[in-house]
Amino acid sequence: MKIALIQAPCWGIVCPPYGLAVLATYLEHLGHQVYIQDLNIEFYSEKKPPYADNWKPENHLFWINPRLVSGFIFDHSELIDKKVDQILDSGAQIIGFSIHFTSEHMAKEIAKRIKQKDKKRIIVFGGPQARRANSGLQLASLEYIDFVVQGEGEVTLGEIITRTERNENIDFCSGAILKQKGEVIDCGDRPLISDLNSLPFANFRSFDFSRYLESFRLPISFSRGCPNQCIFCNEKSYWRKFRTRKAENVFLEIKMQKESIGGIDYIDFHDSLVNGNIGELEKFCDLIIQEQLKIRWGGQAAISKGMTLELLTKMKQSGCICLNYGLETGSLKSMQRIGKLLAKDANLDKIIRDTHNTGIDCILNFMFGLPGETEEDFQETLGFLERNCKFIDLINPSPGFCAFEKGSYAYEHPDEFEIVLGESGALWESRDGINNYAWRLEKFEKFLEKINALGIKSFYPGTQLIGRNTVLGHYYYSKQTWDKAILYLKQAVKQHPEDESSWIYFAKSAFSLGDIVKAGDCFEQVVKIKKTKMDFTGVQEIKEEANRMGIVI
């Protein structure tokens, strides 16, 4: 049977999507013909100029804002239809989408248009955002989606394809959510693949590496899951259990890929961490050194006492050039509090210094306003930066500060951490109200000022949150603190007069304070923006929204 696997925007543009390559190879080994289309890289290449920066990591929030994505869809409607026709022309009967929180809205739009043009095509959604804890149940209820796969998708998707090929009526399939007589049926979880070494090596022949920003970079995976229990992580519930491949299996794949794909000289491990199994990691390094395989590699790592100088030296000899540690805080006490079990008894400063001194770039992730975090903890983090600034090559400060998305432990158990969840995973507050979004923003910007003063390079530009006025305006709107919302939204629309969302929130905030004239003026601005885009359906919707508030536009 012919299958299509689709990556919708927005996703990474550095190298091909690893998940699709792995899934496609598995299905090919079952005897199916697989067509892959990375619409993410195609839209990145063919996007209209106003959206040029929307693939930058710091602008990822654009893709989860329904109003902003609607604007992108409207401006690229013809291009979307063209891509839909290409997918249909592939002849694939089953079309699968791998979705993350940044690609959900675009994937739904593309899937809907496919179904509108041909109702016989079977649409399957999978990936992290398709979990029942996230959007899984809602996705399964949509008329244009037939199946929603839970967790790792190889075996479940394989069964759906095989049974479709046999013309079976699939009213139950372990590992999937489906519709039965109009009712959404959750078929539960499927047992995990016990031996990752049994999976075939990923085949990348469907991808044109020259289209990606780093054509020499190959994605690969050593493991699935993570031994840590970080309370903010929703990957944990996705993979459910930590499993690792054997060092020899990973080494043989890299050797094969390097021989078959010209120009590859960097291996990008896409694991939650490369050092979840120190023993296999060391064996992997030994194999590369013994075989004298010329390759550079890097990936994410956890702080662990197993990261000795001896191991780091061996990693460097094997070609490791960078490690991205999921540090989150410079306080070991805070690390333990948030579930970083591997950090127990670790010498944080020594690991950072040894990593840098062996010649491996030391990259650190940081979060802000962790539950239970005190001013003393924050000052300990700043002190850590001062002590180790010469040994930190790059910092990745989270512009989401500390968010708890569906599927994370803290989201499911807020009482354990004395927090109250807001309307989104980013807007939670401590029960005493001190640790809120604005407080975390303050810590974030103080942190940026500190690393700037210390001369530490950062992924994040500047010393203030990008779109600060817009973000705070939306935040205070959600808190119904209308005067503060207006204060920031007024500046936001001045900086970005094309921002429909801010104008709408400005209108509603003004209305809530009784300023009907200002509310009407703001709605008028939205209408003008939509008319400029020739979005006449949107114009009518805004007029109706204003009319419900007694405002005539």
67 versus 384: the higher-pLDDT residue is 384
Assign 380 a pLDDT band (cuts: 50, 70, 90).
Answer: very high
Q: How far apart are CA 417 and CA 107, in angstroms?
A: 35
Nearest CA to 375 among 435, 290, 426? Answer: 435
CB 395 within 8 A of CB 364: yes
Residue 529 has pLDDT above 80, yes or no: yes
CB 146 within 8 A of CB 179: yes
Assign 535 a pLDDT band (cuts: 50, 70, 90).
Answer: confident
CB 36 within 8 A of CB 20: yes
405 versus 279: the higher-pLDDT residue is 279
In 3-state terms, what secondary structure has residue 124?
Answer: strand
* Per-residue pLDDT tens digits for 385-401: 999 999 999 999 999 99
Residue 546 has pLDDT above 90, yes or no: yes
Residue 67: what pLDDT? 81
Residue 266: what pLDDT? 94
Average pLDDT, the chain: 94
The sheet carrying 183-186 orders its strands as: 33-38, 2-7, 94-98, 122-126, 147-149, 176-180, 183-186
Residue 340 has pLDDT above 90, yes or no: yes
Residue 425: what pLDDT? 83
CB 303 within 8 A of CB 309: no
CATH 3.20.20.70, applies to 470-548: no
Among the four given CATH numbers 3.10.450.50, 3.20.20.70, 3.50.50.60, 2.70.170.10, the one describing domain 214-460: 3.20.20.70
CB 20 within 8 A of CB 4: no
Sorted by sequence, the CB contacts under 8 Å of residue 34 that are 6+ apart come out as: 2, 3, 4, 5, 24, 27, 28, 206
Residues 180-189 have a mean pLDDT of 92
Topology alike, domains 2-186 and 470-548: no
Residue 387: what pLDDT? 97
Q: How far apart are CA 315 and CA 288, in angstroms?
A: 10
Bridge-partner residues for 105, per DSSP? none
User: Which of 198-202, 231-235, 422-426, 428-432 shows the lowest per-residue confidence on average (mean pLDDT)?
Assistant: 422-426
* Per-residue pLDDT tens digits for 229-282: 999 998 878 888 999 999 999 999 999 999 889 889 999 999 999 999 999 999
Residue 354 has pLDDT above 90, yes or no: yes
**2-186: what CATH class?**
alpha beta
Residue 58 has pLDDT above 80, yes or no: no
Residue 237: what pLDDT? 80
**Domain spans of the chain, in order of start:** 2-186, 214-460, 470-548
Cα dihedral 118, 124, 127, 131 sign: positive
Assign 406 a pLDDT band (cuts: 50, 70, 90).
Answer: confident
In 3-state terms, what secondary structure has residue 10?
Answer: coil
Assign 379 a pLDDT band (cuts: 50, 70, 90).
Answer: very high
Residue 299: what pLDDT? 96
